[in-house]
C-alpha cells in the first residue's frame, strides 16, 4: 500500500488532523526575564598603568529593550593607590569617565572607587598593577573564508600567562557619486566646500579575545586568531587599518572574561555551556547585597597598528560598497536660459538637504539646464563616516 493511500485511511487521517490542531495551538513564548526590571550597575573599563584610564558606568536593562543602556551620570570617580594617592576621573560623556595620562607604579596595588549621584559608594578590589609585554606582530592571511588576522606575543620573563585583546577597525571609502555642485547661500554653485566623496569610518570591537599560556612551558602566544573579514567586506574596498591593544591579566581577571565570553558568545545550541552568574571584583560598599557587574584590572596597555591595501588582496575578491541600494541619479530641470540663476523651485528642492545636486548638464540642443541629483545618503559620505583624515593614516 502506497504512502498516499495510508494517509487516506480513517485512523491516519484522524492523527493528521490531531497533529494539525496541535500545531495551530502553538503560542509565542516570552520568558518573564525579558521584562524584569533589574537595573544592576555595570562597570566597564580598566586602570591603565601608563596612560589615560577610561571607565563606563551604566545600568542593565530588559533584553527586549532596543534603547542604549541607561548611563550612570554625575558620579565621583577616583583611582586609589593602596595607602597612598588618589587620581580623579572626569565625566567626558554621559556615564563615561576618564583620567589624565598617568604613570602608575608597577607592583603597587590600585582600585577604582566611585560615589553615585545618589551618594552610594562602590569600589573594586585592590589589584597589583601588571606590566603588559609588547605585541610581537599583527599579521593577516587571505583565504577562502576571507581575510584572517592574527596576533603574536611573548613574555621572556614568563610573568604574563593571561592575555586579552581588543581592536579598532578604520577603513577608507567613497560615496556612490561625486558631487561637483552644492547648495550654498541660497544658490547652486560649483562645489568648493568640504570634500564629501572621500571618508573614513572607525568601529571598535565587541568580541572578547583571550589567550592563555598557563599550561605551556613558555609564555608565548603564537598566531592567535583575532578577527575574520569576509572576501566581500566593504571595509577592504580601498584601505583598511587594524589597531590591536593587548592587556596582561591576573588569573582572576582572566576567569571573569572567560566566563563573560561563554555567556555572551557561546550560547545557542544544545551543547553550549549554560549561562553562569558573573562574579567580578566590584562591590557596593553602602549595601553589600547589591549586585554589581564588572571587573576592574590594572595593567599597562601595548598596541600595534597595521594597514592592508586593496592592491594586496586577491583580484578575484569583489567588495561591497555599502551603496548597493543607491539608484542611478535622476534629473531636475533648471531655467531655460543658461545665463539665468536656477528657478526658485529648484532651489527649494535642494534646500532641505534630502537630495544633493551632482552635476549641471545640458541634454542635446535643449537650452534648459538640468541638474543630476541623488539622495544625500548616496552622495555625502559623511552620512556613514567622517571626511576628516585620521592623523595616523598613511
| DSSP H helix total and E strand total for the chain | 5, 27
What pLDDT shows up at residue 275?
Answer: 55
Query: Average of pLDDT values for 282-303?
Result: 94
Query: Average of pLDDT values for 7-36?
Result: 48
pLDDT digits (tens, 9 = 90+) for 344-383: 778 888 998 999 999 988 877 777 788 999 999 999 999 9
Looking at the predicted structure, is the pLDDT value of residue 30 above 90? no
pTM greater than 0.95 (yes/no): no
What pLDDT shows up at residue 13?
Answer: 41
Report d(CA 321, CA 176) in Å as an integer. 8
Classified as helix, coil or strand, 387 is coil
Contact 113, 123 (CB under 8 A): yes
Classified as helix, coil or strand, 364 is coil
Ramachandran region, residue 313 (left: φ > 0; alpha: ψ -120 to 50; beta: rest)? beta
**Torsion sign over Cα 251, 256, 261, 266:** positive
Report d(CA 19, CA 16) in Å as an integer. 5
Report d(CA 52, CA 338) in Å as an integer. 59
pLDDT digits (tens, 9 = 90+) for 102-153: 999 999 999 999 999 999 999 999 999 999 999 999 999 999 999 999 999 9
pLDDT digits (tens, 9 = 90+) for 330-341: 998 876 554 555
Ramachandran region, residue 391 (left: φ > 0; alpha: ψ -120 to 50; beta: rest)? alpha
Report d(CA 5, CA 8) in Å as an integer. 5
What pLDDT shows up at residue 5?
Answer: 36
pLDDT digits (tens, 9 = 90+) for 160-207: 999 999 999 999 999 999 999 999 888 888 998 899 999 999 999 999
Taking CA atoms, 204 is separated from 167, 168, 197, 387, in Å, by 6, 4, 23, 18
CA within 13 Å, CB half, 102: 26
Amino acid at each position: 500500500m502506497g504512502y498516499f493511500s495510508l494517509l487516506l485511511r480513517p485512523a491516519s487521517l484522524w492523527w493528521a488532523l490531531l497533529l494539525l490542531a496541535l500545531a495551530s495551538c502553538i503560542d509565542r513564548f516570552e520568558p518573564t526575564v525579558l521584562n524584569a526590571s533589574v537595573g544592576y550597575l555595570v562597570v566597564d573599563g580598566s586602570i591603565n598603568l601608563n596612560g589615560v584610564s577610561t571607565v563606563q558606568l551604566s545600568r542593565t536593562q530588559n533584553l527586549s529593550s532596543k534603547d542604549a543602556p541607561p548611563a550612570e551620570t554625575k558620579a565621583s570617580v577616583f583611582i586609589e593607590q593602596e595607602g597612598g594617592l588618589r587620581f580623579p576621573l572626569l565625566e567626558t560623556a554621559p556615564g563615561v569617565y576618564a583620567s589624565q595620562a598617568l604613570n602608575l607604579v608597577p607592583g603597587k596595588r590600585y582600585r577604582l572607587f566611585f560615589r553615585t549621584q545618589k551618594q552610594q559608594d562602590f569600589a573594586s578590589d585592590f589589584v597589583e598593577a601588571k606590566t603588559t609585554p609588547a605585541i610581537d606582530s599583527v599579521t593577516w592571511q587571505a583565504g577562502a573564508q576571507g581575510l584572517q588576522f592574527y596576533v603574536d606575543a611573548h613574555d621572556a620573563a614568563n610573568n604574563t600567562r593571561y592575555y586579552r585583546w581588543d581592536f579598532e577597525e578604520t577603513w577608507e571609502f567613497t560615496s556612490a557619486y561625486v558631487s561637483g555642485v552644492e547648495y550654498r547661500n541660497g544658490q547652486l554653485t560649483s562645489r568648493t566646500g568640504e570634500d564629501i566623496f572621500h571618508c573614513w569610518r572607525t568601529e571598535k570591537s565587541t568580541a572578547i579575545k583571550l589567550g592563555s599560556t598557563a599550561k605551556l612551558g613558555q609564555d608565548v602566544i603564537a598566531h592567535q586568531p583575532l578577527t575574520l573579514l569576509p572576501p566581500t567586506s566593504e571595509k577592504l574596498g580601498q584601505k583598511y587599518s587594524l589597531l590591536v591593544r593587548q592587556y596582561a591579566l591576573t588569573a582572576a581577571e582572566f576567569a571573569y572574561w572567560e566566563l563573560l565570553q561563554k555567556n555572551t558568545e557561546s550560547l545557542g545550541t544544545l551543547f553550549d555551556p549554560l549561562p553562569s552568574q558573573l562574579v567580578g571584583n566590584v562591590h557596593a560598599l553602602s549595601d553589600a547585597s547589591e549586585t554589581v557587574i564588572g571587573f576592574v584590572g590594572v595593567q599597562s596597555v601595548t598596541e600595534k597598528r597595521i594597514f592592508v591595501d586593496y592592491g594586496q588582496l586577491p583580484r578575484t575578491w569583489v567588495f561591497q560598497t555599502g551603496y548597493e541600494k543607491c539608484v542611478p541619479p535622476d534629473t531636475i530641470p533648471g531655467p531655460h536660459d543658461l545665463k539665468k540663476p536656477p528657478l526658485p523651485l529648484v532651489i527649494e528642492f535642494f534646500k532641505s538637504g534630502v537630495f544633493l545636486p551632482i552635476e549641471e548638464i545640458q541634454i542635446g540642443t535643449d537650452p534648459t539646464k538640468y541638474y543630476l541629483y541623488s539622495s544625500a545618503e548616496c552622495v555625502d559620505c559623511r552620512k556613514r563616516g567622517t571626511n576628516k583624515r585620521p592623523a595616523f593614516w598613511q
